[in-house]
Amino acid sequence: MRISELSTRSGIAVPTIKFYLRETLLPAGAALSANQADYDDSHVRRLHLIRALIDVGGLSVASARAVIEAVDSEQMPLSHVFGTAQFAISQSDLYTRQPSAEAVARVAVVVEHHGWRVSEGNPGLIGAANVVDAFAGIGHPELVDLIDDYASSAESVARADLAAVGRQADVAAMAETVVAGTVLGDAMFAALRRIAQEHITQEQFPASVQPVPADSHHG
Amino acid sequence: MRISELSTRSGIAVPTIKFYLRETLLPAGAALSANQADYDDSHVRRLHLIRALIDVGGLSVASARAVIEAVDSEQMPLSHVFGTAQFAISQSDLYTRQPSAEAVARVAVVVEHHGWRVSEGNPGLIGAANVVDAFAGIGHPELVDLIDDYASSAESVARADLAAVGRQADVAAMAETVVAGTVLGDAMFAALRRIAQEHITQEQFPASVQPVPADSHHG
């Protein structure tokens, strides 16, 4: 198909497609002449993947390019694709700030308890430790104990993610699934947790908490 | 304590503390004179809560104020505090863009299947439906089937969240726990999922995916 039809099929404007071509996020089509190229369904899918990375995952063009390159490097082990996708979506302060040694040690206990084998550079180690510090900082260090329940659920979700990867027909589809699962999975879980929280709040605090006397003070 | 000690104890600069006082994020101290006020431990904790909302949760000052007001309105039911915290951290495109009717219906099936009772305005309904659309958009509609595993794990995490709320001594601490769990919990889960994904990738794809011939093409 020509670029105009690619635009119609993908819902993405021609100038934006040309930008992605220049930025090598989108592979060039087969050259028909000096000014025309032929695109196929793989280009439509790739455009949707780019938009998912940028719009849903909040990635920069540079980060999206790194992820796309990992998807395209079929010689790379799947763990490399995962690592690249994880690193790309872990650029916020949460994953880069230095946590306290105590928090790092607390996360290491959880990792050990769950029997997880993980490389030192996994961004989740830093991210989880920074949340541990934040719980302590707001005067609720006991909330850190939630980490074991969270870890068990995270393992269930990760097993489902990897099972979906294993069901894919080829390496290219596996790599796409890894990226989609990593980037979109955070958003999916966060959304479902909001729904479940409301249900369980109503279930466990049906009339909700009773008002306390106005002269009662809490430090 | 004076504002200088509050600054030392909280690690937050005096001008920033004064800004939070003006913005009514931080309650005024007890007036000692025209120019001096006395602060206590509750102010230290409140400062850490503000920083957690803004730095970890990524909230604007206006959103943080809405959450703080909900925490302070002890006459409000706990579900209102949850709702306010959820709404404040759900301002991104993911939670405000209009999803397709098909995606909304798919999420409704999951909610029904899990027996969740939830209000129409819950931001998670929109967020989950937008992720369903994104999966279909990148040519992997089958990934939508992950939603049931994610929902089960989200319910486990929400039960742990609410159990932690129930263990708090008073309504003020409950409200703080709701906010902390909502804002910091997303970050905690995402971080732990990154660790679990690496472990399970190595477990299930130990030598990782074998290289495919360079002339093999995947659409």
pLDDT in the model for residue A209? 44
CB contact under 8 A, A138 and B45: yes
Tell me the three-class secondary structure of chain B, residue by residue. CCHHHHHHHHCCCHHHHHHHHHCCCCCCCEECCCCCEECCHHHHHHHHHHHHHHHHCCCCHHHHHHHHHHHHCCCCCHHHHHHHHHHHCCCCHHHHCCCCHHHHHHHHHHHHHCCCCCCCCCHHHHHHHHHHHHHHHCCCHHHHHHHHHHHHHHHHHHHHHHHHHHCCCCHHHHHHHHHHHHHHHHHHHHHHHHHHHHHHHHHHCCCCCCCCCCCCCCC
Cβ–Cβ < 8 Å for A84, A67: yes
CB contact under 8 A, B118 and A199: yes
Q: What is the pLDDT of residues B14-57, one digit of tens each?
A: 999 999 999 989 999 999 888 889 999 889 988 988 888 887 77
Q: What is the pLDDT of residues B79-93, one digit of tens each?
A: 777 777 777 777 777
CB contact under 8 A, B117 and A199: yes
pLDDT in the model for residue B207? 55
The chain-wide mean pLDDT, for chain B, equals 84
Write the ipTM: 0.79
Contacts of A75 in chain B (CB under 8 A): 211, 214
CB contact under 8 A, A191 and B74: no
pLDDT above 90 for B72: no
One-letter identity of residue A33:
S
Chain A interface includes B39 (CB < 8 A): no
A54 burial (CB, 10 Å; 0-12 / 13-18 / 19+) is middle
pLDDT in the model for residue B80? 76
CA closest to A201 among chain B residues? B79
H or E element: which one contains A37?
A: strand A37-38
Cβ–Cβ < 8 Å for A209, B175: no
When CB atoms are compared, the residue of A122, A138, A164 closest to B52 is A138
Chain A interface includes B48 (CB < 8 A): yes
Contacts of B209 in chain A (CB under 8 A): 77-78, 171, 174
Q: Which residue has the higher pLDDT, A84 or A196?
A: A196
The least confident of A3-7, A13-17, A42-46, A99-103 is A42-46
pLDDT in the model for residue A210? 44
- Domain locations in chain A? 1-56, 77-199
Cα separation, B48 vs B170, in Å, equals 19
Chain B interface includes A28 (CB < 8 A): no
Taking residues B60-87, report their average pLDDT. 79
pLDDT above 60 for A19: yes
Residue A49 CB partners (closer than 8 Å, separation 6+): A68, A71, A176, A179, A180, B138
CA A156 to chain centre: 16
Task: Identify the band that residue B208 occupies on the pLDDT scale cut at 50, 70 and 90.
Answer: very low
Contacts of A104 in chain B (CB under 8 A): none
Distance to chain B for A196, nearest Cα, Å: 5
Taking residues A137-153, report their average pLDDT. 87
Number of inter-chain CB pairs under 8 A, A vs B: 361
Q: What is the pLDDT of residues B100-118, one digit of tens each?
A: 999 999 999 999 999 999 9
Cα separation, A94 vs B173, in Å, equals 25
Chain A interface includes B113 (CB < 8 A): no
The least confident of A31-40, A100-109, B5-14, B203-212 is B203-212
Chain A interface includes B51 (CB < 8 A): yes
CB contact under 8 A, B211 and A94: no
Q: In sequence order, what DSSP letters do the residues of A48-105 get, joined into one string?
A: HHHHIIIIIS---HHHHHHHHHHHH-TTS-HHHHHHHHHHHT--SHHHHSPPPHHHHH
Q: Which residue has the higher pLDDT, B198 or A77?
A: B198
When CB atoms are compared, the residue of A58, A153, A199 closest to B153 is A153
pLDDT in the model for residue B217? 45
Chain B interface includes A142 (CB < 8 A): yes
- CATH architecture of the domain covering B1-56: Orthogonal Bundle (1.10)
H or E element: which one contains A164?
A: helix A147-166
Taking residues A178-205, report their average pLDDT. 86
Taking residues A32-38, report their average pLDDT. 89
Chain A interface includes B68 (CB < 8 A): no
Query: Count of alpha carbons within 13 Å of B89, Cβ hemisphere only?
Result: 30
When CB atoms are compared, the residue of B75, B93, B125 closest to A195 is B125
One-letter identity of residue B142:
E
Chain B interface includes A73 (CB < 8 A): no
